[in-house]
């Protein structure tokens, strides 16, 4: 049972725009930044979005992030076959002494 809630799956055809949601609470998304990680099959996760909507160097601008209240979204426009991967949201949670929480992950299929 993950602290952050994501849909288990999403899909789209090449060229489409897809969004993946991430829902949390006031102690995590509501008061801290959201991060998104992309995990290609058989590989380690890779940072995709930091501080809600910032892209690390090398990440295409087809990927964008947003946050509102206790929810966040990852949008992928101009979908490509190589975007097929698992996507995880993450945030710092202020409860107890503070710790990192992840979403359960969303498997994106490019049809």
Partner 1 sequence: QVQLQESGPGLVKPSETLSLTCTVSGGSISSYYWSWIRQPPGKGLEWIGYIYYSGSTNYNPSLKSRVTISVDTSKNQFSLKLSSVTAADTAVYYCARDQITMVQGVIQYYMDVWGKGTTVTVSS
Phi, psi (degrees; rounded to nearest 5) at 18:
-125, 145
Which residues in this chain contact partner 1 in the complex, by CB under 8 A? Answer: 2, 31-33, 35, 37, 43-47, 50-51, 56, 88, 90, 92, 96-105
Long-range pairs of 57-66 with CB within 8 A, sequence gap ≥ 24: 63/36, 65/34, 65/36
Of 16 and 109, nearer to partner 1 (C-beta) is 109
CB 81 within 8 A of CB 14: yes
Minimum CB distance to partner 1, residue 15 (Å): 29
Which one, 101 or 110, has the nearer CB to partner 1?
Answer: 101
Closer CB to partner 1, residue 2 or residue 71?
Answer: 2
List residues bridging with 88 in a β-sheet: 37
**In the numeric block, which tokens belong to residue 110?**
């490019």
Give me the least distance between CB of 13 and partner 1, in Å please: 26
């Amino acid at each position: 049972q993950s602290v952050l809630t994501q849909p288990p799956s999403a899909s789209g055809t090449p060229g489409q725009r897809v969004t993946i949601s991430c829902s949390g609470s006031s102690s995590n998304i509501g008061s801290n930044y959201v991060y998104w990680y992309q995990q290609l099959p058989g590989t380690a996760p890779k940072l995709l979005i930091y501080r809600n909507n910032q892209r690390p160097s090398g990440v295409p601008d087809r990927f964008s992030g947003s946050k509102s209240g206790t929810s966040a979204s990852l949008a992928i426009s101009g979908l490509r076959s190589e975007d097929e991967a698992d996507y995880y949201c993450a945030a710092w949670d202020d409860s107890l002494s503070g710790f990192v929480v992840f979403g359960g992950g969303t498997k994106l299929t490019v049809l």
